[in-house]
Structure 1
Amino acid sequence: MTPPPRVLSTAAADAMMARLAVRHGALMFHQSGGCCDGSAPMCYPAGEFRVGGQDVLLGHVGDGAAIPVWIGAAQFDYWRHTQVTIDIVPGRGAGFSLEGPEGMRFIVRSRVFTDAEADALAAAGEPRRGDSG
């Protein structure tokens, strides 16, 4: 079995990402797993948030799957058994995420991998960690 993607995005989130990319250029996501808005996916211009050895690349989202999604290693350890979907809802978070001024906020929805999916992910190995420095 081919391993399932660890991260997906909804059509609504993809549309917001496309609008933000027109304004800000290439994008990236990071989810730290901290309290409050640290548990929400934060969207930044690519390279504005520096990932390190304690960050895990979940995958890529957006039209053409070009936007990397990173997560803190501690949060990944907690969520490794779930598939994450980035979505967008009305509202405003308290953070530096690019969608805030649009009156919207990115959120994550998740589901637990099936046993077969978990086995396929284990056979494929874990996602790579970020570069330290």
Structure 2
Amino acid sequence: MVDRVIATEAALQLIAELHREHGALMFHQSGGCCDNSAANCYLPTDLTIGPQDVLLGHVGGMPFYIGKLQYDYWKHTQLILDVIDGHGGTFSLEGSTGKAFHTRSRLFTDEEWASVRDQVERDLA
């Protein structure tokens, strides 16, 4: 099965830096409220994950979640966690580094979609 979320080398490096500094991390793809639509990096105790969230996979060994409603919209895409220069979200741990996590996406191919479709349906049930 194809990964539903992956990370660029730059993102993996920033994750490793934040992990060394803070310990365990987690990501949540924001639905666009306070920090627009951004992947925010948190300590596991900073955000409550519940039945309204979907675990897409892991990046740099850290869990990556997305809200079900947003996932229903993006279910046909692979999310690609990247890093850009600038300030991250006000709630995200990388905010003071001068870098920001940034989510890119690409549509799954027909073959890839066939391999993830059943999991997507289970996640959204």
TM-score normalised by length of structure 2: 0.91
1:31 and 1:38 in contact (8 A); partners too: no
- Give per-residue Cα distances to partners, 1:28-86, cap 9 Å, x unaligned: 00013124624100001123211011000000011xxx200000111100000000010
Structure with a larger share of its residues in helix: 2
1:56 and 1:128 in contact (8 A); partners too: yes
**Equivalence for 1:105:** 100
Number of residue equivalences: 123
- State how far apart, in whole Å, the 2-side matches of 1:5 and 1:47 are: 26
Matched, 1:121 2:119: no
Matched, 1:22 2:20: yes
- State how far apart, in whole Å, the 2-side matches of 1:72 and 1:90 are: 26
Structure 2: segments with no counterpart, 5+ residues = none
TM-score normalised by length of structure 1: 0.86
Give 1:1-133 correspondences, 5 Å limit: 3-35=1-33, 37-62=35-60, 66-123=61-118, 125-126=119-120, 128=123
Secondary structure, counterpart of 2:58 in structure 1: strand
- Give per-residue Cα distances to partners, 1:96-119, cap 9 Å, x unaligned: 101110011000111000111111
What amino acid is aligned across from residue 40 of structure 1 in structure 2? A
Structure 1: 4+ residue segments shifted above 4 A: none
1:37 and 1:95 in contact (8 A); partners too: yes
Secondary structure, counterpart of 2:13 in structure 1: helix
- State how far apart, in whole Å, the 1-side matches of 2:81 and 2:34 are: 17
RMSD over aligned Cα, in angstroms? Answer: 1.6
Indicate the percent of aligned positions where both proteins have the same amino acid. Answer: 50
1:90 and 1:103 in contact (8 A); partners too: yes
- State how far apart, in whole Å, the 1-side matches of 2:113 and 2:81 are: 20
- State how far apart, in whole Å, the 2-side matches of 1:120 and 1:55 are: 21
- State how far apart, in whole Å, the 1-side matches of 2:123 and 2:63 are: 12
